[in-house]
Structure 1
């Protein structure tokens, strides 16, 4: 076999990730809130873009460049659908009688709605300082109180000793003790405790529970109770099991982390749905939520720069580059809207039983089901649904909720894991509290409904939805 060096010419095709294509892929996977932020940034960076004053100012961007509809992988689909923008702007303006607003898709006009908004969420330290200002303490004692409050963490626990506060504030220990007692009497109950036991005992006193057995359990048996050793605790205390359970019912009313209601991680977060599904005359209508995002148009102020003959080449080139960038942005947004609608339509059609009858009828579904139906790549479906929410007549769900694994059934199909969890929850809620069902018995009950499920799968799903094991669910009669 002869081997040697040589020059050969061959023709190949490959996909190039241009900046415009990267932008299209990025926009596809943005949520409504993230898309709004991106549009606001583009409005700052691109002087040719502006917010349309009304829907009448917007026309489909397809007038400016051809829109193809081939769909393969994510990159290839977007590359095929969004060919390179190469427009003769001078000729276009003459043909369009100078209208530059033809590049923006039409939107349904809807006035903004405003809710009661809290400008700033109150903090735990701020709330305690407010109460300290109205406490019966003198100036010196309030300084000690400020030191204590500054050493309380987000969960409401104090991380300094009385002696340390007395030294730092140059006061006697008895004054520091007095101030700490005042702080521990503030709202929320249990604040300023140095450990869990003290936190629960403070709430025990403030809520006037008056259950001596509960006080004994808090003082000496918290670790055993946490491990589920109720029978051991009852034996040590010499009381019946039902009395221990009654005390534990009161224990559940206490808050182990009194400060977390002010924690940033626990604030109420409002979700803006990306898709809204409404039922009209037994049909489900899909609305892509693009009302909150600013409507874009191209400024007429730069029209004469492109059309004018006296414009220098540098200025003309700059304006044309910004015009092309604006077209790409608007087309990418429109492409995102169309893809989101197609995927949502497929989900609603596939999960029609869920929308009609509830979670128990949710089918097992994966990205491939949607991809094959729409003849697109699975990565496109994944990007189109990532981090997005769908508002339905059944509630607000993350779009990934509809893509869940499942277990096989006797009908040759599969039942969604969410539907199985719903069945487990219903069985546990209806069980006899004095004779709770084991995981094996739950599995047998679900199998009787035509779902092939094992005991281990039941235990796994039970843990995921926060249902306790049989021994910890059992209650004891008097």
Structure 2
């Protein structure tokens, strides 16, 4: 039986403006540039104000006929008030709170102009021409006297290399032979030819084969012969630094192993690295923090963000809207509203990001003045309380953003870390603990490296109460192997 009922409930909804602002906050500078370009393509009312002279020319056009300019302003305001939906009326109060005069600098033009130094020289990022690893290998493949079928096999191998230069694990000689209806021996022969391309060891199937190819390619000497023998016959023991077993198995001395290690250390374990790839991401800082006259100056990197405004052409068209159809008026109203929302969101993004960065600088002042070794424990809640915003807002600002300082470029997440109380009551950052751990391991006796228990004991002597398992966790995060694998002879 169908029954009708009523119930009362509260729910929280984000306005379209809040959703847009949240989206823009998460974007780093390069992504924001693309977002602005996309928005300008979708919204004809929105345009780029490249030069102040262009803006002044449009203002002069409107000032030529004051009566027409007044009609345009009236129609522009009327578009905002007419045909409002229930949803728009619901958020009308919120819209009225926005200070459009500060936002657009000129209420008659609805422009968003970034503050720029008039003496600052404008420049564009040059496109750097680079050769990729695939291009480099194809140049060498074409030099081989291969048949068309063999060339296709070589082409397939090159296209299935990983970024580190190794052949993809899912691609085997047998699978390639099956695809091209060839004998596995023929495919193996082509693979061996590619492996001696520059860089030597490319297209290897594992680390052992990569090192073996490089050793075979070197001019032979006694040291290289022993190194090759170790790689071919005792590779597992060598990787795990079981040198005593290698001595017994191969009948060589520790001096021989020491000389072989010198040769092996010169090999390239990842021959594919070092080549430019279009998919690589280049870090462009979103902020710059400079120390000028003992004062820390925070600036937002906006040199490639265009100034935006609502097109004067469409504003004149709105002034003649009485002659336009209802659909055209509705279209213009929506596009104008969308443009204003976007400009407002860009303005709010700028304000929020600067407030957040200023708070980080104030809380981490010792870092920016004295260096990374003076970083303090800090969590996002600390910044949120300073700027009086939610932690989620701070998280969006920090996500994927970088800052350029006098000590290098750092991701904003770098400044957020847990702390630990020392025996003297002082708070110490986990980053500083890791730096001290790294320094102890760097200065240890490499013949007898410290165990995790010994490392924990040494840190406790420095006033840092830390457990062995915490030392092991930090060591793994630093990419430092266990004591046995750090041992040298």
Asked if these proteins are the same fold (TM beyond 0.5), I'd say yes
Cα distance in 2 for residues equivalent to 1:128 and 1:160: 19
Match 2:51 to one of 48, 54, 64: 54
Q: Secondary structure at the match of 1:426?
A: helix
1:107 aligns with 2:104: no
Cα distance in 2 for residues equivalent to 1:374 and 1:81: 26
Per-residue Cα deviation, 1:440-473 (whole angstroms, up to 9, x for no partner): 3333333333332222222211111112222222
Cα distance in 2 for residues equivalent to 1:195 and 1:384: 41
**2:66 corresponding residue in structure 1:** none
Cα distance in 2 for residues equivalent to 1:25 and 1:116: 31
Q: Is the 8 A contact 1:360 1:420 kept in 2?
A: no
Per-residue Cα deviation, 1:184-218 (whole angstroms, up to 9, x for no partner): 43211023545544332220022336322211111
Q: Where do 1:10-409 residues align within 5 Å? A: 15-54=12-51, 83-84=94-95, 100-108=108-116, 110-119=120-129, 121-124=131-134, 126-135=135-144, 137=145, 140=147, 143-152=149-158, 153-154=160-161, 155-157=165-167, 159-160=172-173, 164=177, 168=181, 182-193=193-204, 196-208=207-219, 210=221, 211=223, 212-262=225-275, 264=277, 268-308=280-320, 310-312=322-324, 314=326, 315-409=328-422
**1:72 corresponding residue in structure 2:** none
Question: Cα gap change, 1:145/1:103 in structure 2, threshold over 3 Å: closer, same or farther?
Answer: closer
Question: Cα gap change, 1:250/1:275 in structure 2, threshold over 3 Å: closer, same or farther?
Answer: same
Give the number of equivalent residue pairs: 439
Cα distance in 2 for residues equivalent to 1:185 and 1:309: 72
**1:76 corresponding residue in structure 2:** none
1:454 aligns with 2:463: no
CA drift at 1:240? 3.6
Q: Is the 8 A contact 1:103 1:327 kept in 2?
A: no
TM-score by length of 2: 0.78
Question: Cα gap change, 1:434/1:309 in structure 2, threshold over 3 Å: closer, same or farther?
Answer: closer
Q: Secondary structure at the match of 2:322?
A: coil
Q: Secondary structure at the match of 1:53?
A: coil
Q: Secondary structure at the match of 1:463?
A: helix
Question: Cα gap change, 1:321/1:116 in structure 2, threshold over 3 Å: closer, same or farther?
Answer: closer
Cα distance in 2 for residues equivalent to 1:39 and 1:214: 57
Per-residue Cα deviation, 1:400-440 (whole angstroms, up to 9, x for no partner): 11111232223434322211111111222222323333333
Q: Secondary structure at the match of 1:415?
A: strand
**2:71 corresponding residue in structure 1:** none
Q: Is the 8 A contact 2:109 2:312 kept in 1?
A: yes
Match 1:466 to one of 479, 483, 487: 479
TM-score by length of 1: 0.79
Per-residue Cα deviation, 1:315-347 (whole angstroms, up to 9, x for no partner): 334323222211111111111111111111111
Cα distance in 1 for residues equivalent to 2:333 and 2:128: 44
Cα distance in 1 for residues equivalent to 2:274 and 2:457: 41
CA drift at 1:238? 3.2
Question: Cα gap change, 1:273/1:195 in structure 2, threshold over 3 Å: closer, same or farther?
Answer: closer
CA drift at 1:168? 4.7
Q: Is the 8 A contact 2:377 2:430 kept in 1?
A: yes
**2:87 corresponding residue in structure 1:** none
In structure 2, stretches of 5+ residues that fail to align are 57-75, 78-89
Q: Compute the RMSD of aligned alpha carbons.
A: 3.9
CA drift at 1:82? 9.5
Question: Cα gap change, 1:26/1:57 in structure 2, threshold over 3 Å: closer, same or farther?
Answer: farther
Q: Secondary structure at the match of 1:276?
A: strand
Q: Is the 8 A contact 2:423 2:465 kept in 1?
A: yes
Cα distance in 2 for residues equivalent to 1:260 and 1:149: 20
